[in-house]
Amino acid sequence: MFLRAILLLLIPVFSLTAQEAESYLVRMSPGLDITHFQEKGLQATYAYPSSGRHRIFFDDFLNVTISDTTVLHEMLASGELLYWEIPSSRTLQFEPSDVYTLKQWHLRKIEAPSAWELSQGDSSFVVGIIDSGVDYMHEDLKDNLAYNHDDPLNGIDDDGDGYTDNYYGWDFGSEDWNPMIDDASAHGSVIAGIAAASTNNELGTASPAFHCRYLPVKISDTDGNIRRSNEAILYAAEQGAKVINCSFGSTDYRQSEADVIEYVANVMDVLVIASAGNGSADGRFYPAALDYVIGVGATDLFDQKTSISNYGPSVDLMAPGAAIYGPHKDNQYKLSNGTSISTAVVSGSAILLRSHFPNETAYQIRRRLIDSAESIDAMNPDYIGLLGAGRLNLAMAMNHTPKAPSSSLSIGIRPNPNSGTCQLDLYLEELGNYQLSVFDVYGKLYYREDFGASTHFMEKSLTLEHLNQGCYTVHLSNSRDKSSALFVVFE
């Protein structure tokens, strides 16, 4: 009987130890740090390693490894967490094809040659390719890679950025320095080539980016699973990419992804472009459907939506994405289809625009691309109003005269981060009465002002020296619409 009692006492112990621990992303409430979790006996690490002024924002995100999520529910209820998330999967968005009849028709469709007459790009401008890696030894990709010459392959983190030997980029799938594609997928090579293959080099193919370069950031592991895409986006931004290509996604909304992209767009002035998905569906596909992202759908040679392209709320812009010829792997070239491909066409165009208009913000380049798009409603009578602004035209974007937004509000903040004093650039939908407010992450109001607008663009000075260090949001609204922008205050 005594032995039986001992065995019964041991059963719960074995049951507990058999549970498999998993890692969850959490965002801490302001005022807490990683030691708060460690003192509770939790295994916690920083989710997004960062340095310098951006740590104020990104140090709030942790990876917590536990076998029972009860403690996370309790910390959320107590206010210690703003939220926590279960890891979710994403898929890459293109379908390769072995049959083609015309090479690179898409460059003529978007009038890239006319744009190149005005600008052939600047090699100091970089588009980040967040994907499955790149065959950076490919003959048409090796010369346009944005090599990090400050950190050669010697086993030392020479540039002190926390990534040892990130000479070629970084692999978040395998957690090492080598973003070379795995044998299973050439997806990243295709995307890098469509966006930024070397141009006018007497071999291979051309790309909208021309002389602008690309940075490979690998997020797939050897099994093809996507890992740490948020961290990859941050990495590309910190490495200086002014455009980031995200040819992946899912129907799952993630608050952390929205937070990271909002920060990268508003604070780091980076334009994020993402594929709208290949489900032939009218629905939200993330990150394409996020406010600070250009979501891209796919068209064919005749400006018709491709059969697989999504449409509706995830689409801001359409671009060629059927039978697009470009680099593959092992010095090969193939045809590819899908919204991943059309996204790369837009990203390559966007980095060319950023190099030609270096003083324009990511928001202004976004407006160039969208406001200059060609209407394709006549070719798509079943999708009127569901294909964003229309189809990309790079030459028209290059020659476009910016105007005040007619369908949205926007807020630019300079500088960001700041010490509580900054300049607001307000792009207004219509003339009339507006309200400007400043809140912290809990929704506490710190400032409010009502004003009248007699022009579509206004500059306003904001001085709030009493704000504590942390993250805040500026809200701008009128009776019909609203917009917001995040800013960081440091001491």
Which residue out of 189, 340, 347, 483 is catalytically annotated? 340
User: The tokens of 372 are what?
Assistant: 């200059």
Active site residue 340: yes
Is the separation of the CB atoms in 62 and 44 below 8 Å? yes
Alpha-carbon distances of 125 from 209, 350, 394, 474, rounded to whole Å = 9, 10, 17, 29
Give the span between the Cα atoms of 318 and 488, in whole angstroms: 34
Give the residue carrying structure tokens 């009248």. 452
Classify residue 79 as left (phi > 0), alpha (psi -120 to 50) or beta. Answer: left
Strands laid side by side in the 61-66 sheet: 43-46, 61-66, 22-28, 81-85
Classify residue 470 as left (phi > 0), alpha (psi -120 to 50) or beta. Answer: left
DSSP 54: G
Active site residue 131: yes
Is the separation of the CB atoms in 486 and 472 below 8 Å? yes
Active site residue 187: yes
Which residue out of 54, 106, 131, 198 is catalytically annotated? 131
Backbone phi, then psi, for 165, in 5-degree steps? 65, 35
Strands laid side by side in the 445-453 sheet: 445-453, 432-440, 470-477, 482-489
Which residue out of 187, 211, 328, 356 is catalytically annotated? 187
**Helix and strand counts by DSSP (H, E) for the chain:** 12, 23
Q: Which residues are catalytic, by number? A: 131, 187, 340
